[in-house]
Structure 1
Amino acid sequence: MQINDNRLQIVFTVKPMETMASDHLEQQLQWAVTFATVVAQGSFTRAAEALGCTKAAVSKRITQLEAALGTQLLYRTTRRLALTEAGRVYLTHCGDWPERVAAAQRAVAEVGGKVAGTVRLSVPTSFGGVFMARALLAFREHCPEVAVELDLSAIPRDLEAEGYDLAIRLNLAPPERLVSRPLAVLRDWVVASPAAVATHGLPAQPAALADWPCLTNHHFREPEHWAFERDGTLLAVNVTGPWRANDYSLLRNLALGGAGAARVPSYLVAADVAEGRLLRLLPAFDLPAQPMYFVYPRRLPQPAKVRVLIDFLADWFAQPAQAALLGLRSVGDKG
């Protein structure tokens, strides 16, 4: 509407209904993403840093959102933030929106482009020491644009809190919030040096290990209780020995030195057994299987750099010649 004379000019501009709805939706999305980021970061200051805006802008958006919804979403104190009941309900619907937006940006960036970037990978110390040099050299040839930052640790990392993209875990239940993918099934072997066997005799049954000096790993809950299985029958023995350690490589070295019988992962001593430096005791009896799997944070979609590393390692470990060389069993092998 426009009125125009020598004294007064009034102009009304009316937006189309579609534009008004679009503007409102855009604002609602901005508020929701800000709210979800505040909750994830635990403070307005860190949320502002993550969003690339000021703390005042974050506070304003939350205030506007609460006003629009007609309810309080956050309890604010000088020390912490806490969700109200309404805040918890609202978060169930928008909590993953910031990650979805970031995932959409990653997915678009990857379309038609090279897979590149750095993957932070954590693996158990003994496992990484045996396998990862060869695996990563092969991966470098396959995908030279992806770098790997490798962490070797006996303690499982908190992938989300510590910023890891991927981990390989052995015989540990993965947290429910993480994704897991089976990789292989491993078993421990009991091994000893030829000199130790000459001194103590070759055991025919697990019970005979009670008379052996045995090297145990005190990282586990019952390190002196070794349970074997054969043809569905459980045969357990309580062992004793002069040394306990929480490092498989040290136990292997003690066994090589003739200190006694050691229970260690097959992959760590397969080459020693093949070359006669160690003898496998009680090969007809199985120790409990240990599942090995990939673990990674849930992202939609997974970054291409992580997907390509997971797929490569899964294929690398699944190769029959490779599995036999490394003393691994495939996931489908129940024996």
Structure 2
Amino acid sequence: MQSDDNRLYIVLTVKHMETIALDHLEQQLQWAVTFAAVVAQGSFTRAAEALGCTKAAASKRVSQLEAALGTQLLYRTTRRLALTEAGRVYLAHCGDWPERVAAAQRAVAEVGGKVAGTVRLSVPTSFGGVFMARALLAFRECHPEVAVELDLSAIPRDLEAEGYDLAIRLNLAPPERQVSRPLAVVRDWVVASPAAVARHGLPPQPSALADWPCLVNHHFREPAHWAFERDGALLTVTVDGPWRANDFSLLRNLALADAGAARVPSYLVAADVAAGALVRLLPEFELPALPMYFVYPRRLPQPAKVRALIDFLADWFAQPAQQALLGLRG
């Protein structure tokens, strides 16, 4: 049997070894974060500034890491730093540790806390102009401590490089390292003014649009190629006209001014059609549905303020009033 003294010695020894292991792990984490910062910043000087330490301390930590691993991670010259093969392997495993630590801090801070902060959101221009005022006012009622900084742009933003939390995009695959989630489906309508219809006559088939002056959005690939569907059959027509533009609102205004037939999202012209200012052409034929997505950087986990906005907008756009404007009901 072991004596009490022996048992106490074993317990103390185990606890001492655990303390050494924890100290070593903490040291390894510090070295790894410093190494990742050096690679990200491209120099020891900038990494040290980002980490709040001296250049000498940053250099020492990386050297200690290399000594502990028994291999060189960086090629150092007076002009540049380059990863060795071992450095690339190590970075693949530890490069996202700072973000994981920050994500863990955010997650803990949000437990039992309020959903608050600012969300930077980028949305297509015409879509945002129609929907986002009402959507964000309704969101504010549910989450009064979340502010939204809204960007309206026809050009997809680089979310990570430009610091955006979230984007709504039409029919675009997300870049690598970003997440997409379906939001809604949009349909285009072909519309013209009553005066234009009186001048050219209602087209009975899509092919009749070849004889109409048509307003084309040259922002898209093959903008003059319009494809319609009816009862599973595909009918296509190549259109032409004196005006091309890359803005849906301008095309709508040209249609209202009797310039010809415009293909625009239903949400831009549904009110005009209801009021009789525009006529929907070929309503029995459907143009292809265009999916819209949320796109956002991959974070672990997503901040609560971003999750709240995503969930709210997904529910809001599923409501009948929004679905009708998107051309899916009624």
Normalising by structure 2, report the TM-score. Answer: 0.91
Tell me: CA distance 1:41–1:316, structure 2 relative to 1, closer, same or farther (3 Å).
Answer: farther
Structure 1 residue 79, shift from structure 2 partner: 5.0
Instruction: Tell me how many residue pairs correspond in the alignment.
Output: 316
| Map of 1:316 onto structure 2 | 316
Listed as ranges, the matches of 1:127-142 within 5 Å are: 127-142=127-142
| Map of 1:150 onto structure 2 | 150
Structure 1 residue 34, shift from structure 2 partner: 1.8
Q: Cα deviations across residues 76-106 of structure 1 (Å, max 9, x unaligned)?
A: 3455433221111112211221111001111
Tell me: CA distance 1:146–1:78, structure 2 relative to 1, closer, same or farther (3 Å).
Answer: farther
Aligned partner of residue 57 in structure 1, secondary structure: helix
Tell me: CA distance 1:194–1:82, structure 2 relative to 1, closer, same or farther (3 Å).
Answer: farther
Ranges in structure 2 where 5+ consecutive residues have no aligned partner: 1-12
Tell me: CA distance 1:254–1:168, structure 2 relative to 1, closer, same or farther (3 Å).
Answer: same
Listed as ranges, the matches of 1:186-197 within 5 Å are: 186-197=186-197
Q: Quote the Cα distance in structure 2 between the aligned partners of 1:42 and 1:315.
A: 44
| Map of 1:62 onto structure 2 | 62
| Map of 2:32 onto structure 1 | 32
| Map of 1:98 onto structure 2 | 98
1:293 correspondence with 2:262:
no
| Map of 2:204 onto structure 1 | 204
Letter in 1 for 2:326: G
- Check conservation: 1:123, 1:153, Cα contact below 8 A: yes
1:266 correspondence with 2:266:
yes
- Check conservation: 1:121, 1:150, Cα contact below 8 A: yes
Tell me: CA distance 1:181–1:64, structure 2 relative to 1, closer, same or farther (3 Å).
Answer: same
Letter in 2 for 1:312: F
Q: Cα deviations across residues 212-270 of structure 1 (Å, max 9, x unaligned)?
A: 00000111121111111222222111111010000111001000111000111111111
Listed as ranges, the matches of 1:10-89 within 5 Å are: 16-78=16-78, 80-89=80-89
| Map of 2:238 onto structure 1 | 238
Normalising by structure 1, report the TM-score. Answer: 0.90
Displacement over 6 Å in runs of 4+: none
Letter in 2 for 1:90: Y
Tell me: CA distance 1:43–1:121, structure 2 relative to 1, closer, same or farther (3 Å).
Answer: farther
Tell me: CA distance 1:322–1:102, structure 2 relative to 1, closer, same or farther (3 Å).
Answer: same
| Map of 2:125 onto structure 1 | 125
Q: Quote the Cα distance in structure 1 between the aligned partners of 2:76 and 2:225.
A: 52
Letter in 2 for 1:306: V
Q: Quote the Cα distance in structure 1 between the aligned partners of 2:42 and 2:284.
A: 55
Q: Cα deviations across residues 93-129 of structure 1 (Å, max 9, x unaligned)?
A: 1122111100111111111211111000000111111
Structure 1 residue 51, shift from structure 2 partner: 2.4
Listed as ranges, the matches of 1:106-125 within 5 Å are: 106-125=106-125
Structural RMSD (CA): 1.7
Q: Quote the Cα distance in structure 1 between the aligned partners of 2:153 and 2:127.
A: 10
Letter in 1 for 2:57: A
Ranges in structure 1 where 5+ consecutive residues have no aligned partner: 1-13, 331-335
